[in-house]
């Protein structure tokens, strides 16, 4: 999606300046250097405590259960509060490893990063009979793979074995393609649930959340740019635009909706669960892709939130469309 005009360019500068200013402010207010080293060491230890115990007791399952030192294959449980329609024969997708790769790079552990990347390249498959939440699978798995791919590409010279040949991008593309059937609705709004092997299941619920429709553009947009396949971005953008068209005259959105009829189910609006990442993705999409369209949606939403939800330091939930 092409470029930003001069208004957008000046906004980018403003964002950059704000970021730099806040970084300097943090430094100036700053922690003394001994304290910084102490805190950094503490964070490092906490990371390895969690990571190594996952690798010993749970990998390649999805998550560690720390009290019992066992595992749970939680990808199919995420967002599934009633634990309905769980798969019978699913043994996990090394979810915690996927989610840890970027931290390994931040900590400078390229050896372990490469080991994880190569394990996933060899062993991860999405051809599994498991019903997963599109939103959760997108933010964790697709996001994890896309960011690890970018990090692996950027740090190729620091990887010892020279074996990285875009395998994570291939996995991400495969996963993205498994997402696409969820968007085949009359409205373009995606189903909340998709079976990785079989697509949308029979009698699948048509109810989803605002976050579920409006928090896909970062990962799917990046996937399109990296693969050259426009379908991922197109699907996410169509859903986001449809969602935005459903806003009230106050520029507020409800919390849950029906993907087939395009009607709101829960009309109350807010900034909490079910909506929060909709706002987050608008500003991040503007920063990442630079399109005025994302800025305009964010700006209108932001003003509406300030106007209708804000009471002193608190944000409240409002009942809107009862106009």
Ligand X SMILES: *[C@@H]1O[C@H](CO)[C@@H](O)[C@H](O)[C@H]1NC(C)=O
Closer CB to ligand X, residue 56 or residue 201?
56
Question: Which residues have a Cβ under 8 Å from the Cβ of 153 and sit 6 or more positions away?
Answer: 164, 166
Least Å distance between CB 112 and ligand X? 4
> How far apart, in whole angstroms, are the C-alpha atoms of residue 172 and residue 119?
15
List the one residue from 1, 118, 246, 321 that touches ligand X (CB under 6 A): 118
51 touching ligand X, by CB under 6 A: yes
Least Å distance between CB 139 and ligand X? 24
List the one residue from 74, 76, 109, 269 that touches ligand X (CB under 6 A): 109
47 touching ligand X, by CB under 6 A: no
125 touching ligand X, by CB under 6 A: no
Question: Which residues have a Cβ under 8 Å from the Cβ of 312 and sit 6 or more positions away?
Answer: none
> How far apart, in whole angstroms, are the C-alpha atoms of residue 203 and residue 197?
16
Which contiguous run of DSSP H or E holds residue 224?
A: helix 217-227
Beta carbons of 76 and 132 less than 8 angstroms apart: yes
Length of the chain: 323
153 touching ligand X, by CB under 6 A: no
Beta carbons of 186 and 127 less than 8 angstroms apart: no
> How far apart, in whole angstroms, are the C-alpha atoms of residue 71 and residue 272?
29
List the one residue from 62, 73, 112, 136 that touches ligand X (CB under 6 A): 112
Q: Could you tell me which residues are beta bridge partners of residue 133?
A: 193
4 touching ligand X, by CB under 6 A: no
Under rule CB under 6 A, which residues in 273-302 are in contact with ligand X?
none
Is residue 170 helix, strand or coil?
helix
Stretch that binds ligand X, among 74-82, 104-112, 164-172, 212-220 (CB under 6 A): 104-112
Total residues contacting ligand X by CB under 6 A comes to: 12
> How far apart, in whole angstroms, are the C-alpha atoms of residue 60 and residue 225?
30
Closer CB to ligand X, residue 113 or residue 264?
113
52 touching ligand X, by CB under 6 A: yes
Sign for the pseudo-dihedral over CA of 307, 212, 12, 147: positive
Closest CA to 77 of 65, 66, 68: 65
119 touching ligand X, by CB under 6 A: yes
- CA-to-CA dists, residue 243 to 161, 255, 316, 318, angstroms: 46, 11, 22, 19
Triad 302, 183, 266: Cα angle to 5°: 50
209 touching ligand X, by CB under 6 A: no
267 touching ligand X, by CB under 6 A: no
Closer CB to ligand X, residue 70 or residue 306?
70
Closer CB to ligand X, residue 52 or residue 184?
52
70 touching ligand X, by CB under 6 A: no
89 touching ligand X, by CB under 6 A: yes
Lookup: tokens for 160: 């010892």
Least Å distance between CB 150 and ligand X? 20
DSSP class of residue 156?
G
123 touching ligand X, by CB under 6 A: yes
99 touching ligand X, by CB under 6 A: no
122 touching ligand X, by CB under 6 A: yes
48 touching ligand X, by CB under 6 A: yes
Closer CB to ligand X, residue 95 or residue 222?
95
Which residues make up the interface to ligand X (CB under 6 A)? 48, 51-52, 89, 91, 109, 111-112, 118-119, 122-123
């Amino acid at each position: 999606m092409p470029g930003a005009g001069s208004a957008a360019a000046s906004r980018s500068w403003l964002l950059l300046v704000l970021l730099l200013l806040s970084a300097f402010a943090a430094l100036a207010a700053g922690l003394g250097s001994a304290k910084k080293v102490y805190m950094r060491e503490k964070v490092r230890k906490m990371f390895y405590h969690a990571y190594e115990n996952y690798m010993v007791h749970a990998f390649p399952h999805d998550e560690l259960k720390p009290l019992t030192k066992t595992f749970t294959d939680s990808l199919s449980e995420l967002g599934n509060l009633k634990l309905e329609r769980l798969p019978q024969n699913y043994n996990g997708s090394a979810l915690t490893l996927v989610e840890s790769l970027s931290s390994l790079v931040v900590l400078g552990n390229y050896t372990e990063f490469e080991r994880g990347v190569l394990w996933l390249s060899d062993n991860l498959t999405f051809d599994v009979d498991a019903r997963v939440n599109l939103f959760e699978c997108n933010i964790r798995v697709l996001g994890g793979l896309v960011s690890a791919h970018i990090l692996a590409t950027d740090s190729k010279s620091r990887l010892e074995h020279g074996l990285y040949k875009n395998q994570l991008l291939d996995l991400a593309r495969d996963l993205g393609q498994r997402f696409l059937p969820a968007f085949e609705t009359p409205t373009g709004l995606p189903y909340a649930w998709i079976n990785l092997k079989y697509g949308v299941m029979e009698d699948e619920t048509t109810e989803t959340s605002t976050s579920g429709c409006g928090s896909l553009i970062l990962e799917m947009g990046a996937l399109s740019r990296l693969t050259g396949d426009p379908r991922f971005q197109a699907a996410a953008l169509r859903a986001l635009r449809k969602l935005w068209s459903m806003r009230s005259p106050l520029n507020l959105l409800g919390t849950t909706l029906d993907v087939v009829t395009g009607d709101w189910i829960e009309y109350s609006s807010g900034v909490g669960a079910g909506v929060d990442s909709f706002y987050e993705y608008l500003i991040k999409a503007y920063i990442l892709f630079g399109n005025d369209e994302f800025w305009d949606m964010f700006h209108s939403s932001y003003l509406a939130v300030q106007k209708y939800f804000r009471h002193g330091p608190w944000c409240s939930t409002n009942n809107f469309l009862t106009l």
